[in-house]
Every structure is written in C-alpha cells, then in structure tokens.
Structure 1
Amino acid sequence: MKRIRVPGSTANLGPGFDVLGLALKATSTSQKFTVCLELHIEQLPEGSSVPGNCEIMCKGEGAGTFSTACDENLVTKVALYVLRSHGIRGFPSPVRITMVSGIPSCRGLGSSAAAVVAGVMLGNEIGHLNLSKERMFDYCLVVERHPDNVGAACYGGFIGAFMKLQAPPSEPSETLSNSLDEPPKDIASYHQFPLNTDVKMVVIIPDFHLATTDARGRLPQNYSLEDAVFNAQRCSLLPGLLGETPLNPAKISEAMRDRLHQPYRMDLVPGFERVLQTMKHEVYPGLLGVCLSGAGPSILALATSNFERIAEAVCSILREAQDIRYDWQVLEVDHDGATCCDVVMS
C-alpha cells in the first residue's frame, strides 16, 4: 500500500497576500485536527468491478461532504487530469483510495490546496510518471492558482512564492474536465525562509465555513499607491524578522499589519476587527502578531509562549460578537511538505 501525505497550510500572514505561506502540522496525535490530508492507495485484484477503476472511501473532517465518484471528487479529478495529459485515459488498474482528512474545510487552512497537491501526486504515482516535485508544482498551479498555499503544501516550511507566467485562459474546472495538455513549465518560483524554532502557530478555528471565492469577492479591483507601498514594506521585512534570534515582537507585530485584504473581510469574521485592536504583544507576553489564516475565517496568532491565554482571549472576543463554537490548536511548521511512501500492512 502507498500513502500520500500533504500538510495543511496558512497563507498571507497579514501583509503577504498571495505571497507568503506556512505548512502546518499538529504538535501531538491527541489534537482534534491532524491538519493534513492522507491518501491510502491499495491495489485491487485485476478484474474487480469498480466504476472508473477507482473505489473511494472518505474519512475524517468533512468526509460526508466529499464525493466518492471518481469524476467528481477533487483529488481524483486532478489525478485524472494528470494521467490524461500523459495519454492515459483513466486509472489503468483497479485501486481503492481511502482519503483521511484532518484539515477543516473552507476555514483558511489550505484544504483545497492539499487536495490538489494530493491529486497531482496520486496521478504521478498511479501512472508511474516519475514527475519531479517541481513539475508537479506546475500541475498544481493550473488548478489551484495560489502559489502561497500550494507551495507550502508541496514543499513544506515557510515559503514565499510568485507566479512567473499568466494563468491559463481556461478556468480550472475546464482544465480538470477537458484538457489534454500538459501545463507550461516553470509557472512559479518559490523560496523557503528560515523560521525561528520558537515560533508556533496558534490557530483559532470557528465552526462555520467561508469559501475563498466569497472572501476574494470582497476585494477591490484597484488599490491606492499608499496601501500598496504599506504592504510591500512590511512583506519585505516580515520573513527576515521571523527568522531572527532573538525575535523582536514589536517589529513583527507591526510587520504583520495589512491593508490589502483584511480590512475588506472584517465583517466576514465577526469580532476580528476587535481582535486586531485588542491582541497586542505588550499585553500578552509571547504574542508576536495576529492575522486571518488565509482568507479566513480561522485566525492565526504567531507566538512563542502563553498559547492558552492568547487563544482563550481571542475566542472570548469572537464569542462576544458571534455565539458559536471555536476550537483552537497550537501547531508547528511542517518541514516535509507532500510525501509519498510505501506502507507495510500489519
């Protein structure tokens, strides 16, 4: 049996809109969310009667919402596109794929990016294509056009990324349904930054969904020069500040301020504006800065200590604004990124 594992991710980190990403992992197996997507791939006997040669089982977070049809499930649709672009029409032999998701969906923790990366790796494995991770990154980007999340999920660590080529004119849905073409090469570039090992991610996860397309729809088509410069200044300094020893909370908290996306998404996460106003490093020792995780609605606090106090303070503010459930976890950086390995069945 083969196992593909892809970490969840957080993106933007305040000023790094569509640029900065962090791969995430749980600090222990006892935590509610594993913050990763796993595929367990088993070969079935030849001649097995399986529609599309692919039997899908879904477990974990949101399992009941995922399609078990090969041509509808995002992971297998991506795999079929990868196979099709190499002249392979469908899964060449019967397989059972068990998808185990530990990433809360539509919560700003990279669930769709993980699914796309897993799908590309699945197509590569099933088709014996021997694609490099760099080439698989190209495939990911014609489907999920956010190199920050995809780059973090694919390569792991703390990354910055930018697109080098314009996105293809076709929509990702058309690519998945119809395209026979391989993607262009070298679509994007990424760089992994060092991160001080004391930095942990406190993620506050609300019990409601927010589609990235809805959050992105709140953004303006044009920005002022002043706001663009404001973010460029902070985004250019933040990676260096987070890699320093000792860390400088005052500089980091200022460098995590944003004018390009968070101000336009405030009302999508009731209480978030007050979180930004209230959660200051001077009041909460160990806190470095607070931001939306990706497009939200999860909230990310970078911190070195005092995790429970920080998380409970954020949850308290959010509950005052909206009486719903909030979970929180302390996460670490996943340095492995997407992996595929053999698993010996016991």
Structure 2
Amino acid sequence: TLGLALKLYNEYTFEEIDKGLIIEGCPDIYKNKKNLVYRSFVAAAEKLGKKVDGLKISMKLNIPVSRGLGSSSACIVGGVFGANALYKGRLTRDEMYELAVMLEGHPDNISPCIYGGLTASLIENEKPYAIRYDISNKLKFCALIPDFKTSTHEARKILPKTIDFQDAVFNLSRVAVLLKALETGDMEMIRIALKDKLHQQYRGSLIHEWDEVKAICVKGGSQAIFISGSGPTIMNITKDERFPVRIKEGMSRLKHNWEIKMLETDNTGAKVEIL
C-alpha cells in the first residue's frame, strides 16, 4: 500500500501531573481515556514498563478528522512518540513503527507519518515493513477538503467482494510506473499511472459533488486527480502554483464548502522536541 506524508501537522504536548488526565485543544467528546492519543501513549508507556498515573495532553489539531488524511495515524504516532520522549525511552523509530501499526491495524498511513516521503508498506507474518521513496520537489499537492465526513467503514463496505483479474492487472501494472513518475515529476506518466479500476468508481459515489469537483479541476488544468485515502478529500497533483486560483471560483459555486489547501511533501516524518 502506498502512503504519502504531506506538510499538514498535528502537535501534541505531553506533561506529567500528579494524577488524573487533562486533555486540552480537542472537542469535549474526546477529553477522556478513550482518546486515541492517550490510549496510544499508555500502550507505549506499558512497553517501556511505565505506569501512567497523571498526564496532561495539549493538542493543536490541523488534520481534519474523517477526511481521508490520516488523522487517526497522527494521533497514534503522536501518543507513541510522546511516551517514548517523556519517559526517556529507548524505542527506535522502527520499534515505534511496529507498535503504532499494531494499534492502527494496518501500516498504510502510519508508514509515511513516521518515515516521511512516499512509502510502500505491507505486513508479513504479523510484522510490518515499509520502503521509502523520494518524490520530485517540483510536485505540489492540492487538497480539496469538504465540510462533510465519510465513514471509513462505509468506504470499505461499498467495495466489491471480488474483482476482475484484468482490473487487478490494470492497477498493479501502474504502481511501478507511478513510483518512478513521482520521483522524476513526469506529469503525463503520473496522470496515466493514477488511473484506477478498483476503488474510486465505487467510493466516488459516497462523495458529494465528486463529478462536479473533477470537472472543475480538469478545467483548471489538473491532470492528476484522486481520492485521498477513503475520502472525502480529493487530491490533485500539480506543478502549477496558481492552480488553487484557477479553481477557486468554480469551487465557490458548489453546494458544499470545500477548503483548498496547497501542500508540499514532508520528507522527515514525525518529530519530537523536548521543551
């Protein structure tokens, strides 16, 4: 599975307190021990042999929830890295990767979140593996983030239980091409390699105004459009810095509010700072 790290960040600050749990900077519904950042922190602490008696977590959240941008992975990685730093643990990045994947259940978004750049990942004998690829610095990623959510469960449920062999070959044959095209910044090859027969035709039906947004992007000069994760965020790959300006008027006429956010690739992954 391929995943890409972009410069869109959540920040988490962890502080030991005498007892209890204080969480700041997130909706009230998440200010409890079911919070994914807290649960991931506790899991990492247990691996380090530490008991969490009291903890204060302060959050600055910039990654929208349930938009196909890896918000849950950011929470998990933040909690794991935070515990390792606060308790002066000696977990390596690879060890934290394994723990984070175990907590998430799959490596798709955890891999780029931890290692940065473009990653290809898989699980073999319950152990996750990831390989990192470089991407041309000429490429920009324009995210169109709507004011509605989609359910990951529904996005998986809508996919067919079986697929045609030729459709599988169609997609697989494009993966290696896509990796090289992203490295060289070859927009024509990126456009061809992003063609899909396995999920976008199904998941697109869950995204309001999917066809309208695609038409606006094509008119604005986009050659590479795809659904980010399971949606509903729609991503464009471009070299045109003015692409957001070209689509702004058309997007403003749509029923839903779509935030236009130009993003660059993050090549370092999760960072820790000791305050």
The TM-score, its normalising length taken from structure 2, stands at 0.91
Q: Name which of 118, 122, 130 aligns with 2:90.
A: 130
Q: Name which of 27, 34, 39 aligns with 2:12.
A: 39
**1:296 matched residue in structure 2:** 231
- Paired with 1:193 and 1:295, the residues of 2 have a C-alpha distance of 22
Q: Name which of 158, 167, 172 aligns with 1:218.
A: 158
Question: Residues 258 and 65 from structure 1, CA distance in 2 versus in 1: closer, same or farther, beyond 3 angstroms?
Answer: farther
Give the C-alpha shift of residue 269 in structure 1: 0.7
| Structure 1 unmatched runs, 5+ | 1-18, 26-34, 167-186
Give the C-alpha shift of residue 243 in structure 1: 1.2
Question: Residues 310 and 214 from structure 1, CA distance in 2 versus in 1: closer, same or farther, beyond 3 angstroms?
Answer: farther
**2:244 matched residue in structure 1:** 308
1:182-221 correspondence to structure 2 within 5 Å: 187-221=127-161
Q: Name which of 253, 259, 265 aligns with 2:203.
A: 265
**1:172 matched residue in structure 2:** none
SS in 1 for 2:88: coil
**1:326 matched residue in structure 2:** 258
- Paired with 1:122 and 1:328, the residues of 2 have a C-alpha distance of 31
- Paired with 1:206 and 1:144, the residues of 2 have a C-alpha distance of 24
Give the C-alpha shift of residue 314 in structure 1: 6.7
- Paired with 2:215 and 2:139, the residues of 1 have a C-alpha distance of 22
Give the C-alpha shift of residue 115 in structure 1: 0.5
- Paired with 2:65 and 2:73, the residues of 1 have a C-alpha distance of 11
- Paired with 1:120 and 1:37, the residues of 2 have a C-alpha distance of 14
**2:274 matched residue in structure 1:** 342
Alpha-carbon displacement from aligned partner over 1:106-139 (angstroms, at most 9, x marks no partner) = 0111100100111111232234321001001111
* Over 6 Å off, 4+ runs: none
- Paired with 1:224 and 1:218, the residues of 2 have a C-alpha distance of 16
Q: Which range moves more in the overlay, 142-151 or 305-314?
A: 305-314
The CA RMSD over aligned residues, in Å, is 2.1
Alpha-carbon displacement from aligned partner over 1:247-278 (angstroms, at most 9, x marks no partner) = 43222111111111111112111232454467
The letter of the residue matching 1:218 is I
- Paired with 1:250 and 1:304, the residues of 2 have a C-alpha distance of 12
Higher helix share: 2
Residue pair 1:202, 1:311 contacting (<8 A) in 2 also: no
- Paired with 2:71 and 2:108, the residues of 1 have a C-alpha distance of 13
Give the C-alpha shift of residue 334 in structure 1: 1.2
1:89-104 correspondence to structure 2 within 5 Å: 90-92=51-53, 94-104=54-64
**2:77 matched residue in structure 1:** 117
Alpha-carbon displacement from aligned partner over 1:32-56 (angstroms, at most 9, x marks no partner) = xxx2111112344xxx3x32xx322
**1:164 matched residue in structure 2:** 124
Question: Residues 56 and 284 from structure 1, CA distance in 2 versus in 1: closer, same or farther, beyond 3 angstroms?
Answer: closer
The answer on 1:84 being equivalent to 2:46 is yes
Q: How many residues align?
A: 274
SS in 1 for 2:22: strand
SS in 2 for 1:220: coil
Question: Residues 337 and 55 from structure 1, CA distance in 2 versus in 1: closer, same or farther, beyond 3 angstroms?
Answer: same
- Paired with 1:197 and 1:268, the residues of 2 have a C-alpha distance of 32
Residue pair 1:138, 1:188 contacting (<8 A) in 2 also: yes
- Paired with 1:213 and 1:248, the residues of 2 have a C-alpha distance of 34
